């Protein structure tokens, strides 16, 4: 038997034997036997994939026979070695199973491919530009929100993934938009299905932890039991399902456990989902306006064939997956105090809002600082970006306001009421709105669900006739403006340095720790010059190799610092590290100890 190498992966183990590789994904013990999704590759091409009992000699012989049919010769000891590796790993469902050195190697390799992208201050804008450059028309808000929800799968407790329902008429581009966004993450970030059976979530062996489950049509999830399992997965972040199975020893109970957390992306033509599912997802409606249709026409006519380069995006996804993604939101309390408690549903929506802020912060962690415990500190920039995406979605979810398209539709019914005393037909409304009949009908159905219009036709099979119903509500702001949060954020907030690159203004150009860092008067504003606009992140974080724009308060100028050197160099001065040094050289650590001692003697925090 030829030599082989066994290595841990993000979701299991891989055994390399020349041109042949064996991958065991999501391995787990089932009554003493190791079961896993076994994938056999030859020269990067998949020749076999199936859920396999690696402990069973009979099952292994079956695998070897199937491979022989495809002219792939494999020795049983290789499968045994893979089974031993799986059995030795106590946790096989994420990067946590990698030891520190392996995980750091993953991060370093990924960083080389994504450094430029990771250091951008508005990564979601870069995504929108990339996807538009490849010929995708419009839907910028939806594209950003979907990508951010996918990134939220990497949240760690108390954060969790955020789920979203993409709604709209047939041919509205719902599934196409989701597919294009998923191109920008690695395939193992999600599990896509068109539909599933009632008990598929319980019995499937596809790993779900920190992944997005994508269902391209909500009609494929209509069964009561399937909906129940989905709600359990989204709310409890796991599934515990006990059933009975027939065995050689008779009927025996079996407890099936599926670990999350898992996020859901679902598309649907329905205006509303199951009530208990609806409150667990953010609902976004695709743009069905004539302007968007015209933009699609223009994109099709341009015949653009530019292909987006997904390589740096996949590297970014890998780098983030291997990172410490704990996030602290220092202004969470101030934000919660400004949200009006007008609906019970806001309890869930508030959690989703905080989880999206966490996702945005971890996505931009290369330009964020960390607190004394090593958690990424979310800034008000993170809240501002999230608020722009979901302010109206959350307000509409609690019916504090209505979408502009619904207001336009109700107004059209009111305008046409005098001309149609017996009720306004759909065709008339479609003409006024310049929509096709199906799109107009869908809008009217959504408005009728909320009681703003009524269908007075009571005979089945007859065309609908609409009249106005309840008055439209006034616009009510649910999510406070960024400046409102800044105004109530505790002015006594101070920064407690953990190490040189996380607190006092680190000067990556001169390797000098500027000792003028005074307490921050607000998030993102340096008290040294109080000019937050000049440097949105005043805390220089050389550790993240961020190229962050920082303020030299002592010198009274703002400059773009040179990017910190890559791994293997001091994060303070950029000099090569000695073998026994990690992150910082002895000179910088000694200088920091001196500064820290001086600050403590003076009774200061920063």
pLDDT of residue 498: 34
Cis peptide before 158 (omega within 30 of 0): yes
A 10 A CB-CB count for 100 gives: 7
C-alpha–C-alpha distance, residues 210 and 155, integer Å? 8
pLDDT at 398: 78
Chain centroid to CA 154: 7
pLDDT means per 10 residues, the chain with 606 residues, are 75 86 82 82 85 87 91 90 77 42 74 92 94 85 96 92 91 89 90 85 84 84 79 88 85 86 90 80 87 84 74 92 92 93 89 96 95 92 96 84 86 91 91 88 89 90 91 86 87 37 34 32 37 38 36 36 46 64 64 55 44
CA dihedral over 133, 135, 137, 142, signed as positive or negative: negative
Q: 10 Å Cβ neighbour count for 55? A: 19
* pLDDT for 412: 92
Q: For position 453, what pLDDT does the model report?
A: 93
Closest CA to 54 of 70, 40, 41: 40
Q: Does this model's pTM top 0.75?
A: no
Alpha-carbon span 177 to 79, nearest angstrom: 41
Helix (H, G, I), strand (E, B) or coil at 28: strand
pLDDT for res 354: 97
Long-range contacts of 115-120, Cβ-Cβ distance < 8 Å, separation of 24 or more: 115/366, 115/545, 115/566, 116/312, 117/312, 117/313, 117/315, 117/316, 118/316, 118/319, 118/365, 118/366, 119/366, 119/367, 119/544, 119/545, 119/546, 119/547, 119/563, 120/367
Tell me which CATH code domain 138-315 carries.
3.40.50.300
Check whether domain 404-468 has CATH 3.30.70, yes or no: no
Give φ, ψ of 397 to 5 degrees: -65, -35
Helix (H, G, I), strand (E, B) or coil at 522: strand
Which residues lie closer than 8 Å to 51 by C-beta, 6 or more apart?
35, 36, 37, 38, 205
Q: What is the pLDDT of residue 426?
A: 92
pLDDT in tens, 408-461: 999 999 999 988 988 999 999 999 998 888 888 988 988 998 889 999 988 888
pLDDT at 202 (0 to 100): 85
Q: What are the tens digits of pLDDT across the range 304-333? A: 656 788 999 999 998 999 899 999 999 999
Spans of all domains in the chain: 5-92, 138-315, 404-468, 491-601
Helix (H, G, I), strand (E, B) or coil at 360: helix
Alpha carbons 12 and 92: distance in angstroms, whole number: 5
Residue 47 near residue 72 (C-beta atoms within 8 A): yes
For tokens 């456990």, name the residue: 257
Q: Which residues in 60-85 are b (16+ Cβ under 10 Å) and which e?
A: beebbeebeeeebebeeebbebbbeb
């Amino acid at each position: 038997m030829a030599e082989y190498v066994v290595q841990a992966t993000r979701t299991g183990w891989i055994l390399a034997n020349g041109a042949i590789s064996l991958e065991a994904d999501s391995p787990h013990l089932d009554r003493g036997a190791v079961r896993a999704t076994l994938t056999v590759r030859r020269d990067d091409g998949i020749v076999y994939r199936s859920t396999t009992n690696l402990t069973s000699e009979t099952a292994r012989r079956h695998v070897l026979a199937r491979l022989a049919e495809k002219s792939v010769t494999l020795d049983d000891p290789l499968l045994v070695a893979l089974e031993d590796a799986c059995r030795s790993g106590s946790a096989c469902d994420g990067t946590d199973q990698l030891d520190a050195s392996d995980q750091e190697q993953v991060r370093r390799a990924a960083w080389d491919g994504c450094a430029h992208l990771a250091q951008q201050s508005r990564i979601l804008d870069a995504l929108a530009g990339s996807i538009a450059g490849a010929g995708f028309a419009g839907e910028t808000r939806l594209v950003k929100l979907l990508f951010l929800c996918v990134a939220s799968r990497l949240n760690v407790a108390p954060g969790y993934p955020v789920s979203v329902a993409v709604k709209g008429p047939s041919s509205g581009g719902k599934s196409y938009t989701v597919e294009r966004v998923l191109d920008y993450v690695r395939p193992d970030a999600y599990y896509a299905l068109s539909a599933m059976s009632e008990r598929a979530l319980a019995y499937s062996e596809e790993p779900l932890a920190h992944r997005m489950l994508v269902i391209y049509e909500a009609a494929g999830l209509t069964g009561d039991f399937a909906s129940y399992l989905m709600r359990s997965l989204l709310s409890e972040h796991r599934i515990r399902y006990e059933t009975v199975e027939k065995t050689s020893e008779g009927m025996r109970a079996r407890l099936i456990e599926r670990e999350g957390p898992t996020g859901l992306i679902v598309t649907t033509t329905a205006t509303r989902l199951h009530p208990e599912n609806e409150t667990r997802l953010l609902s976004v409606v695709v743009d069905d306006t004539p302007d968007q249709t015209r933009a699609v026409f223009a994109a099709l006519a341009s015949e653009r064939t530019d292909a987006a380069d997904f390589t740096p995006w996949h590297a970014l996804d890998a780098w983030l997956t291997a990172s410490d993604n704990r996030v602290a939101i220092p202004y969470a309390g101030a934000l919660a105090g400004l949200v009006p408690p007008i609906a019970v549903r806001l309890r869930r929506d508030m959690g989703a809002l905080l989880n999206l802020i966490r996702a945005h912060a971890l996505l931009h962690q290369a330009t964020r600082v960390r607190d004394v415990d090593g958690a990424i500190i979310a800034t008000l920039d993170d809240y501002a970006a999230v608020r722009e995406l979901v302010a109206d979605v959350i307000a509409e979810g609690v019916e504090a306001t209505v979408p502009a398209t619904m207001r336009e539709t109700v107004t059209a019914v009111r305008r046409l009421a005098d001309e149609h005393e017996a009720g306004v037909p759909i065709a008339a409304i479609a003409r006024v709105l310049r929509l096709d009949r199906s799109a107009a009908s869908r809008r009217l159905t959504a408005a009728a669900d909320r009681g703003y219009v009524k269908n007075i036709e009571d005979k089945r099979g007859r065309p609908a006739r609409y009249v106005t119903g309840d008055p439209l509500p006034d616009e009510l702001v649910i999510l406070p403006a960024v400046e409102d949060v800044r105004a109530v954020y505790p002015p006594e907030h101070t920064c407690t340095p953990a190490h040189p690159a996380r607190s006092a203004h680190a000067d990556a150009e001169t390797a000098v720790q500027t000792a003028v860092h005074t307490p921050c008067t607000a998030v993102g504003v340096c008290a040294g010059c109080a000019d937050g606009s000049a440097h949105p992140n005043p805390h220089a974080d050389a550790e993240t190799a961020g190229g962050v724009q920082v303020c030299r308060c002592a010198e009274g100028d703002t400059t773009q610092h040179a990017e910190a050197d890559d791994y293997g160099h001091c994060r303070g001065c950029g000099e090569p590290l000695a073998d026994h040094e990690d992150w910082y050289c002895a000179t910088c650590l000694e200088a920091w100890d001196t500064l820290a001692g001086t600050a403590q003697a003076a009774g200061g925090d920063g």
